[in-house]
Amino acid sequence: MTLAKQIMSARTLRKRFFMQSMFDEHAWDILLILYIAAEEGYLVSKHEIADITFSRLSMLENWLNILQSQYIIVESAWPHPHLELTQDGRGRMRELLLESVAA
């Protein structure tokens, strides 16, 4: 299991034991989900991110807009509507994860 998947699994698991609102880091969840999707070769829609994070889409929109304005993620319509990390966003995530392992 990749480090990104381990982090996402731990984040999901802790929600079973504590109130979800204690751990709300929506931007981080979005980045992890999109990084894992890119590494595993599948596409993720806004609605799927909302389902995975147990969040309302209307609440996630703010974070999606912030990440898009910083050119970390991009919305694409082909082959169907989905979100993905930009090349820069994916590189930054990769570097973060590599430095996390080395720390």
pLDDT per residue over 8-36, tens digit each? 888 877 777 877 676 778 899 999 999 99
Architecture of domain 3-102: Orthogonal Bundle (1.10)
Tell me, what amino acid is at 38? A
What is the per-residue pLDDT across 45-89, written as a single tens digit (0 to 9) for each? 999 999 998 889 998 999 999 999 999 999 999 999 999 999 999
User: Which ranges of 1-103 does DSSP label H, i.e. alpha helix?
Assistant: 3-17, 26-40, 46-53, 57-69, 87-102
Residues 6+ apart with CB under 8 A from 98: none
Tokens of 40: 């595993």
Instruction: Please tell me the predicted confidence (pLDDT) of residue 14.
Output: 77
This prediction's pTM: 0.86
Q: Using pLDDT thresholds of 50, 70 and 90, give the confidence band for residue 1.
A: low
